[in-house]
Amino acid sequence: MNDEQLRGCPFYLNDSQIKWVHDTLDSMDDREKAGQLFCLAVSQNDVQDMQKMAKEYKIGGYMCRALPAPDIVEINTFMQKMAKIPMLVAANFECGPVGISKDATDIASFLEIGATGMPENAGKLGAACAREGAALGANWSFAPVVDIEYNWRNPIVGTRAFGDDPELVAACAQEYIIHAQKNGMAASAKHFPGDGMDERDQHLVTSINSLSCEEWDQTYGKVYRSCIDAGVMTIMIGHIMLPSYSKFYCPDMEAEDMLPAVCAPELLQGLLREKLGFKGLIVTDATNMAGSLVLVDRRKLLVDMINAGCDMLLFTYNTDEDIQCVYEALCSGELSRERVDDAIQRILGLKAALQLPEKQKSGQLVYSMDQIKEYLGCEKHRMLAREIASQAVTLVKDKQKLLPISKDKYKRIYLYVIADTKEKNGDEAGLRRILTEKLTAKGYEVTCHDNEIPLGPMGKQRAFQEMIDSFDLILYVFNIATYSNKTTVRINWKNLNYPVYIPVIPTMAVSFANPYHLVDIPRISTLVNAYKFNEDIVDVVIEKLQGESSFTGKNPVNPFCNMWDTEL
């Protein structure tokens, strides 16, 4: 990377910053260079591990998993004090600052923002992530997710995408990037060349973006051009193949030789660098994902990723082995020294652009706990979360005109809660408790179905007439979220809890996560999608069910899953 590139988009370095990049690179030995190429994971406050990362491995950065704020502050303060070169500190800032700390604000999923139809909300989210995240010591957001949700069966994209319209995804992504970076946090558009076409999870298998070159240009290509135009500093590469462009750049390539983007030079250098013009930092998605590990020997894979054009490797499989492997490849010449120096210039260029050297000198890389209190979970960001939820909650259908509900019309509610989630209070027991408390406070009588206890032996279930006499409304509530290594996001029916009373009792459903449940409950005539679970969103949903405010959310994806019976 030459000086003119460092001066230009996306780093815009001045002369003194460029000098720091050169001086720092010139002072590094091969072990330091090998370490600088890695971004590891920190998921606990372990002094021994952290000291090893900073002093022995001399890593370029690390990603924090969500922990209590005091732990995050302690970790980031310790790591930055130990580091000779200030570190990049990343987190998955997808739903808000909560991505780095459980004490920070839980604002909105990207699909929730897409449902508002207002890209400026993505900008507000990006700014909030940067403000609260920076206070805790973070400077790099592994967001926005710019995948396009074309396949409703995809188990990993889900509510992490802005929707299935490239124009909306591009507009939201631009807003997030501009406002996060304006507030001092680098953004990372992911997962190039684009997830959402395949129905498989790249954590488990190499997934495929099957679009032609022309189709890709008009969809994912348009989105990535928008991100680059917005000045995105980094792009994260997925374990995803793009056969059309691999064949375009390498016409003689055989199918068995095709590789995912993380180790495909034709996609990184040809498509991303040359055609799209991206000059920022390229970081891999987690290198311990099976999407690449199943194809190439681990030691060769790491070298191939860097030689192909990746500047930074996210995570390790065995840290000692992986860093030693890269070091030995650099010493032997298997790793191009020119390519490694180019990668490190981009890493250092990003650090300079974020003013990390200056902040390191002045002790401002992490705020004090007293300063943090001003930002952490602040009222402004909580109000933003509530505002976005109110704009996003979507009435998908109400064919029987059950809405609005009231205690006079539907006083006796039979509640089914079906959840498969890691979220606090979002499991079945927690969600039953929260809904029962909130609905009871509104004057309803709530009876909960326990999914673990059968109603009786086969053929002796609760009589239909007994149900008709006992309840005015049946309410199904789902909280089935997408997350890594989960191959499906479908309703798991237990003990005859499926909706058999539809013909005789008014029945409706609310989903707090996956927007595609109609495929499994097509005959439920009333469905509301909320795209994310937290207690504030539960309040908004109940408010809208009762007609206290109108539904303004717009479907950011096709909730009918291209099946005619779901629209009945």
The residues that are catalytic are 285
Bond into 68 cis (ω within 30): no
What is the per-residue burial (b if ≥16 Cβ within 10 Å, else e) of 143-161?
A: bbbbbbbbbbebbbbbbbb
Task: Please give the Cα distance from 96 to 127 (Å, whole number).
Answer: 9
Angle at 277 between CA 276 and CA 281, to 5 degrees: 110
What SS3 class is residue 464?
helix
414 forms beta bridges with: 447, 474
Task: Name the DSSP class of 519.
Answer: G
Residue pair 182/127 in contact by the 8 Å Cβ criterion: yes
E-strand ranges in 350-485 read: 394-398, 412-420, 445-448, 473-480
For residue 565, the Cα-to-chain-centroid distance in whole angstroms is: 31
Judge residue 427's burial from the number of C-beta atoms within 10 Å of its C-beta, 0-12 exposed, 13-18 middle, 19 or more buried. Answer: middle
Residue pair 99/93 in contact by the 8 Å Cβ criterion: yes
Question: Side by side, which strands form the sheet with 526-529?
Answer: 394-398, 526-529, 507-511, 473-480, 412-420, 445-448
E-strand ranges in 47-169 read: 61-64, 88-91, 140-141
Residue pair 68/102 in contact by the 8 Å Cβ criterion: yes
529 forms beta bridges with: 394, 511
